[in-house]
Structure 1
Amino acid sequence: MRRPTFDRRQFLAASTAMATTLAAPFVRDANAAGKLSIGFWDHWVPGANAACTSVVQEWAAKERVEVTIDYIPSQGNKNLLTIAAEAQAKSGHDILAMPTWWPHAHADQVESCNDIMPQLIAQNGAVNGTVQYLGKLGDKWLGVPATIGSQIKGPCTRIDLLKQHAGIDIQALYPAGAAPKADSWNMETYLKAAEACHKAGVPFGVGLGETTDSVDTAGAFFQSFGAELVNAKGELTVKTDAVRQALEYLVKVAKFYPADAPAWDDGSNNRWLVSGRGALIMNPPSAWAVAKRDAPQIAQQCWTHGMPAGPKGRFAPFLPYFWNIWSFSQNKPAAKSLLVALSQPAAVAKFVAASGGYDIPAFEKLTTLKTWAEEGPPVGTLYHYPNPHNHQTLSIAASPAPPKIAQQIYSQATLTKMIVRHLQGEPMERTLSWVESEVEGFLRG
């Protein structure tokens, strides 16, 4: 996520990795000739936009389509403002990149991708459940899951500090190049490790604020307890044993987080890791890459791995991007052909390499690219980042509530607010009554 203290465009890129499958040919017809306008997310990794441009230009030259590419930054929510403006004007790019909730928010204005998603799934493997949850409305595919910009926010742990203070060899639990051996990495172990590292003066750097990093982490923990504020049917489920159990646990472990964790933003955990003050944060590899640049002695001790398991399983925060075609696009056949080209293994490998392993493809057959195995230091530090062994369920906070309700729970940071309220001494039942009132308002809306 964006960190106020450094420039994403200074994030370090990695060496290239290539596969060999070529994009499917674009069959031109009377409606498909001419131009194509694309609005991509503006990557902060040097070279990532160039890699995307080269794939598009190769396709365009082959298919003789004139393309225009705009890279739209997420700083200041410019990408979200662009989505809203084009939706209102019913004019703009043919293809526009949309994060997480936004395809559902504009479901009636995006073109169905039902004619291309089945072939991509047959070729690249099934997509994870979060992509289906956010990328489909009923039987309609709202877009194609984008490799570029998609991320997992799992633990990045200091190998040395966790071993020294909690007696846990995280590399043994998550060995490079092999399946996890992490049955012992559960909620009890996590709590004990958090306490031990707190006592040693190197607390886990997990935020309890109202920005996305904090909300994403809280959401994964709630799901690990089977705790839902609203279920998939849209029914209010706040006052349940699962929610109480999750809240009790999260308040217990929050006492071992930094004292100012309720005020943390999306830059706080990055600064915490790079400063050397903490033993663990929850983040994609951007924090590690900044450490590699600014504090290499710390980066050499970092290991990215899976979440602790709870009573209902092991859940990790996953935030996908989608490439969507507006229903008012002037060149839908060409747009769909390009999305197929962008989803070919060779293109995906190029995007992953150019992002230094940050970008995550949604398709199960594309999670073992060599970039993650070879990145370092230490070599293999990102091997488990893309969940290559399906060791955990990739999720998004506030699911499985209907997306338009979940988006409100997410954007209002209801999960972290309830943790902080109870942490600060409010009785649990009063906190749950407050949450129930808040969510009832979302349901009415």
Structure 2
Amino acid sequence: MANGKVTRRRFLETSAASAAFVAAPFVRGAHAAGSLSVAFWDHWVPGANKATEEVARAWAEKEKVDLKMDFITSQGNKNLLTIAAEAQAKSGHDIFAFPTWYVHEHAGQLEAVDDIMPELIRQNGNVNGTVDYLAKVKGRWMAVPSTPGSQIKGPCSRIDLMKQHAGIDVVAMYPAGQPPKAENWNMDTFLKAAEACHKAGVPFGIGLGQTTDSVDTIGAFFQSFGAELVDKDGKITVKSDAVRQTMEYLRKLAAFLPPDAPAWDDASNNKWLVSGRGALVCNPPSAWAVAKRDAPDIARQCWTHGMPAGPKGRFAPYLPYLWGIWSFSRNKSAAKSLLVALSTHEAIAKMVEVSAGYDLPAWEKLTTLKTWAEAEPPRGTLYHYPNPHNHQTLSIAAAPAPPNIANQIYNQAVMTKMVARNLGGERLEATLAWAENEVEGFMRG
């Protein structure tokens, strides 16, 4: 008799095997509340899955549910292959951890969670606007924000290099335990700092590649200038003054970045920080954590803080995961009960602690957990990571375009390609014409 025993089945290695797996018949357990199968995201941080396992196991034992958990990696898009296979087979896990855009893509096959979100909001505070944009479809909540995997990709600066070469004291600007004093931390200041550090041989490590770290960061710059490729009503706005202003700024900034920035992937900024060659990267605390493990002298000089403000405000790149319940689930009541259990203050605090501060709850009342305040070295280095003073807007690249269009702009890395093309010598108007044609193609599709 299982009594809530958790199994750790790994993702099957081929899509054909996946389809066979998800098409397998549902077998109800012997427990009073039946069975439940959950597909969680397999965490990058070693050991971070443990917190989710412990919370879910405790819930299963209390509720007498036969719980089975899989932790499915996003490497090689294995989680996305599994989502596609289950959607096609209309069978598989009851709950799935959906990356970013996939709630909207599969909304027709998800169970609404309007009945549990109001109480979670009452307990934990409102969610940020990006979660509202991604988890709601036609005004209905179709997913619950997941703490594991959700992250801000804000600046992590070298205290010593920024002070020495740019004359900026990032600790004084973002003091631990206190509100930011960042009135002068704007696009002009950022550009001057990037130029100074470049001249000193320690350039800012911001990618212009086609993977999420690059897209997220450049997307935040676009939003800081109020630049949209497509507006919220679906109108193409590529050739706007705001987009031109953004592109002119980013061309100046790109000249001070590493020459291979257009080829960077999501590992590049981590390597750049650890190498000691860079004064700033934009990343969740994973870059600092790697430095803490592999280059402790560098880690002691790292400070995570907010983005520079643009003409339209201060926007930080944010990338959430969302838990959704398939409409073909045979135990929707248990699925909703588990999502409530995973969204308590106690459960979230455990997830944040075990992930060493990487995981980021979307709820406004959960941005001051002790893990971020106590992280070291240096002590307080992660205090401003979760935006505890709400001084910047958490955003996602390509918003506020309708999500079905924004998804394509994001995944095709249109914004970083625009910067790379312009940096490579293409005239701005030609770049804008190319981007407009790309977006028109998405609209037709």
- Range class of TM-score, shorter chain: over 0.9
Whole-Å Cα distance in 2 between the matches of residues 427 and 45 of structure 1? 42
SS in 1 for 2:330: coil
In the alignment, which residue of structure 2 is the partner of 1:242? 242
**Residue segments in structure 1 that go unaligned for 5+ positions in a row:** 1-30
> How far apart in 2 are the matches of 1:188 and 1:324?
41
Alignment RMSD: 0.9
Q: Distance in 2 between matches of 1:347 and 1:69?
A: 17
Contact 1:177 1:373 in 2 (8 A): yes
Contact (CA 8 Å) 2:32, 2:64: kept in 1 or not? no
Indicate if the aligned counterparts of 2:262 and 2:420 stay in contact, CA closer than 8 A: yes
Aligned partners of 1:101 and 1:134 also within 8 Å: yes
| 3-state DSSP of counterpart to 2:320 | strand
- Separation of aligned partners in 1, 2:198 and 2:424: 19
CA contact (8 A) 2:149 2:321 kept: yes
Would the aligned equivalents of 1:96 and 1:323 in 2 still touch at CA under 8 Å?
yes
Give secondary structure in 2 for the equivalent of 1:156. Answer: strand
User: 2:305: which partner in 1?
Assistant: 305
- Counterparts in 2 of 1:283-432, with a 5 A limit? 283-432=283-432
Asked if the contact 1:273–1:291 (Cα under 8 Å) also holds between the matched residues in 2, the reply is: yes
Match of 1:154 in 2: 154
Which string of whole-angstrom CA distances, capped at 9 and with x for unpartnered residues, describes residues 190-228 of structure 1? Answer: 000000000000000111111111111110000000000
Give the corresponding residue for 1:13: none
CA distance in 2, matches of 1:50, 1:356: 12
Consecutive aligned runs of 4 or more in structure 1 exceeding 3 Å deviation: none
| Mapping 1:67-146, distance limit 5 Å | 67-146=67-146
Deviations 1:318-342 (A, max 9, x none): 1000111000000000000110010
Task: For residue 32 of structure 1, report the CA deviation from its aligned partner.
Answer: 8.0
Question: For 1:208, what is the secondary structure of its paired residue?
Answer: coil
Aligned partner letter, 1:57: R
TM-score, normalization by structure 2: 0.92
Aligned partner of residue 338 in structure 1, secondary structure: helix
Q: Which residue of 2 aligns with 1:59?
A: 59
Instruction: Please name the residue that 1:41 is paired with.
Output: 41
Aligned residues: 415
Q: Percent identity?
A: 73
SS of the residue 1:36 aligns to: strand
Q: Contact 1:316–1:395 (CA<8 Å) still a contact in 2? A: yes
Amino acid in the other structure paired with 2:159: I
Letter of the structure 2 residue corresponding to residue 119 of structure 1: E
Give per-residue Cα distances to partners, 1:384-405, cap 9 Å, x unaligned: 0000110100000000001110
**C-alpha distance in 2, partners of 1:312/1:398?**
16
What is the CA distance between 1:119 and its match in structure 2?
Answer: 0.5
**Contact 1:32-1:332 at 8 Å conserved across structures:** no
Q: Which runs of 5+ in 2 are unaligned?
A: 1-30
Give the alignment's TM-score, normalised by structure 1.
Answer: 0.92
Offset of 1:44 from its aligned partner?
2.5
Matches within 5 A, 1:123-272: 123-272=123-272
Q: Which has the higher contact order (CA 8 A, sep 6+)?
A: 1
